[in-house]
Structure 1
Amino acid sequence: MQKILRIVLVVATCLVIGYLSGVVTRESITTWYPTLIKPVFNPPNWIFAPVWTVLYIMIGVAGGMIWNRMETDEENVKKAFKFFMYQLGLNALWSYLFFGLHNPLLALIEIILLWLVIFETYTQFKKIDKVAGMLFVPYLAWVSFATVLNASIWWLNK
């Protein structure tokens, strides 16, 4: 039962981070964001909330799975979980930089750092639990796409 509770707690934490990021984003989606020139591959706005919800659930499950390995591999779990927490913080920061400050360049610099920390989290997780690592692959792919999108928006609007 404790293992399930850990997973639920980490998933809930990820969803709260996502919700708070959405609060920062919400106003700009209807005011500032529509004024930007966007590339042809820019997805419709409605796709972002469901994609992020699924991703937050997946990375939350992965984080909970890693936490559940604390008794058997404490040193590696602590290291991996630090990266997990860093990427969550950077994830939330990106929304603030892009949508809150309306600064695509600063957000682009930050999302590159975010991608690197996500990749390191994936690498650390995979060493401990291959399934937990694989749950990070869609997140890494989406942030790769978001990085290209962010760069394109910055370039088109500089």
Structure 2
Amino acid sequence: RWLQRMWAYTVGFTVLPHVGGFLGWFFNRKEIPVWYEKLKKPSWCPSRKVFPLAWTVLYTGMGYASYLIWNDLGGCSSKAVIPLGLYGAQLALNWAWPPFFFGARNLKMALIDILCLDSLAIGMMCSWYRINKVATLLMVPYLGWLAMATCLTLRIWKDNPEQKPGKSE
């Protein structure tokens, strides 16, 4: 019974980031071929085919890392408020980026979102380091991807004038 519960928690924490990622893709998927492909992007922009694979790996690592932190802190104890609160806040900003970028086509708001996300992710990793180094290391690829995504968002924002939703230039 205890093993079943721990297995359920492990799976639940690991799957959770995928939920928002999937919803972000689902609601914005039509904007990708219509709008995103027309944007001016730098030569180092990853292929569209890379994003689903990258996010599957990143969300899985992120989710499992959050489980390790939760487990090491004994669940939702008072010790978990800051480390898991930072995790939840950065996850919310992660999930908010696609609606800003693709849904609202608001490149400036997407840039502000990802800059705040970067800060929260770094703060989260700092708060996790003393709790579980493996969990922290599992977040390193995510931080690397965020660095690339931040540079990409900044470059796209600078190279493409803001458009209002509904315009298809």
Give the corresponding residue for 1:63. 66
Question: Comparing 73-82 with 100-109, which one deviates more in the overlay?
Answer: 73-82
Residues 1:106 and 2:109 aligned together: yes
Are the counterparts in 2 of residues 80 and 124 from structure 1 also a CA contact under 8 Å? yes
Unaligned ranges ≥5, structure 1: none
For residues 121-144 of structure 1, give each alpha carbon's deviation from its aligned partner in whole angstroms, at most 9, with x where no partner exists: 111111210000111111011011
- Structure whose residues are more often helix by fraction: 1
Q: Which has the larger radius of gyration?
A: 2
Residues 1:77 and 2:65 aligned together: no
Give the corresponding residue for 1:147. 150
Paired residues in the alignment total 158
Give the whole-Å Cα distance in 1 for the aligned partners of 2:47 and 2:76: 43
| Alignment-mate amino acid for residue 42 of structure 2 | P
Residue 35 of structure 1: CA displacement? 1.4
Residues 1:51 and 2:54 aligned together: yes
Give the corresponding residue for 1:90. 93
Unaligned ranges ≥5, structure 2: 162-169
Residue 73 of structure 1: CA displacement? 9.6
TM-score (norm 1): 0.94
Cα RMSD after superposing both structures? 1.5
Are the counterparts in 1 of residues 70 and 76 from structure 2 also a CA contact under 8 Å? no
| SS class of match (1:128) | coil
Residue 13 of structure 1: CA displacement? 1.1
TM-score (norm 2): 0.88
